[in-house]
Amino acid sequence: MMKRKGVAATTWYSETLSFWSPESWQSKPTLQQPVYQSHESLERVAAELASLPPLVTAWEIDQLKAQFSEAAEGRRFILQGGDCAERLGDCNPQTITNKLKILLQMSLVLIHGSKKPVVRVGRFAGQYAKPRSEDFEKRDGVTLPSYRGDLTNRPEFTESARRPDPELLLRGYERAALTLNFVRSLVRGGFADLHHPEYWRLDFVKHSPLAEEYERIVGAVTESLRFMENVLGLHPGEIEWVDFFTSHEALHLTYESAQTREVPYRHGWHNLSTHFPWIGMRTAALDGGHVEYMRGIRNPIGVKIGPGMTRDWLLKLIDVLHPDNEKGRLVLIHRLGRLKIAERLPELIETVRESGKQVVWICDPMHGNTRATAAGRKTRYFEDILRELELAFDLHAANKSVLAGVHFELTGEDVTECVGGARGLTEEGLAARYETEVDPRLNYEQALELALLTARKMMLGASAR
Ligand code: PEP
Ligand code: CO
């Protein structure tokens, strides 16, 4: 495997970083990695990935870190959202624009509710690798490797589709680049101009029971924008455009490390395949490859925190991943579930306080609330998601902590994967357009409704203080 020089014990940016290199994770036990038939092919692909231009710049990454730091202090609010598993086929103009539209609409509503700038982070342009609880799947006596996302293999239950193919790492990288290129062009081209929210209208929202409330908020935000420009004399260029940042789970470490680079005039190593990589709790073992990899990069990094997180584990993770207490670097994404959040979150907040370090708290109200329908379909109930989110706001406030943002699995499409919401989708109704290969996502209307209710909650919270 490709080897590059590492960083020695004491460096200019960290007093505490012991030897690390983009490939040092290879000496640690590393979970959730596909088993390829040919090691040579994997090496060839990794070398090619390392030679291709980066997708994002260190400058953007540092900018996001600064914005995260402000969010941790309650001066911004983070909206992170997108598919559970992005598909290579999602790289088409319609799917990409619909995803941007719903994220823009939600952020507008959240700006209104929080009275803060919203940091938009997509789960896109690289969210192609999925952790699985089982390495193999058995159907009718046939056993094949589990589907691990389009970066690794294909969901169809055939031997050739499920065989991990290193070439898919290149296909994923290319699709991420095409996606990001289109996102950037749309944003630069005026699609995300706050003066023109009509550009982001999804046709189906017209027919939604939420249309009226949304239109009212659009009116209020547009009005405030005019006020700032005309009365306060703010330069329009400063507020006209909204940015998008990208994020994905840093799961496939050959993919991640191949794009981890040093750039001129910036200290240290950045993962230039995304602005904000995160790891799940199942790959957050202290002596594992993922923690080893994450500790050395300069991006803001996320760790998902489930109900099984212990005080000791969290303290050690903070110690290893966040030795310098750099503002905006360590993001803890709690996904505790509606039933466990009240019991677990205060203790976790207390543990962070005990560490003496600053972290950025985000609530993922999706992954702790997954359940199966009577028919065996994976779903989530809108009311569980909303309840966990409301509790997250209340518990952070009660424990003198800041909830800096939210993390959703959503799509800009009219799918039927989660139960509930304004249209009262039922378990029986899920069959109509159930498209996800992995986790159930909020559809556009449920996502917008959740944003409206989150905004309402933030307004209530702000007036109560
Ligand atoms: C995810 O975010 O899609 C995911 C797999 O989450 P978690 O690791 O928290 O279960
Ligand atoms: Co998921």
- In the chain, the number of structural domains is 1
In contact, 56 and 274? CB cutoff 8 Å: yes
Cα of 378 vs centre of ligand 1, distance in Å, is 14
Question: Does some domain include residue 14?
Answer: no
Question: Does some domain include residue 30?
Answer: no
User: For residue 316, is pLDDT > 80?
Assistant: yes
Q: pLDDT (tens digit, 9 = 90+) per residue, 380-436?
A: 999 999 999 999 999 999 999 999 999 999 999 999 999 999 889 999 999 999 999
277: closest CA among 303, 243, 310? 303
Question: Does some domain include residue 7?
Answer: no
Question: Does some domain include residue 50?
Answer: yes
Question: Does some domain include residue 297?
Answer: yes
Atom of ligand 1 nearest to the CA of 364: 9
Q: pLDDT (tens digit, 9 = 90+) per residue, 340-358?
A: 999 999 999 999 999 999 9
User: Which residue's alpha carbon is nearest to atom 1 within ligand 1?
Assistant: 84
Residue 148: CB within 6 Å of ligand 1? no
Question: Does some domain include residue 25?
Answer: no
Question: Does some domain include residue 34?
Answer: no
Residue 84: CB within 6 Å of ligand 1? yes
Cα of 454 vs centre of ligand 1, distance in Å, is 21
Q: 47: domain range? A: 40-464
Residue 280: CB within 6 Å of ligand 1? yes
Mutate to test the pocket of ligand 1, among 249, 252, 380, 438 (most ligand atoms within 8 A of CB): 249
71: closest CA among 6, 144, 120? 120
Question: Does some domain include residue 4?
Answer: no
Q: pLDDT (tens digit, 9 = 90+) per residue, 21-78?
A: 999 999 999 999 999 999 999 999 999 999 999 999 999 999 999 999 999 999 999 9
Q: What is the CATH number of the domain that holds 248?
A: 3.20.20.70
Cα of 71 vs centre of ligand 1, distance in Å, is 22
Q: pLDDT tier at 12 (50, 70, 90 boundaries)?
A: very low
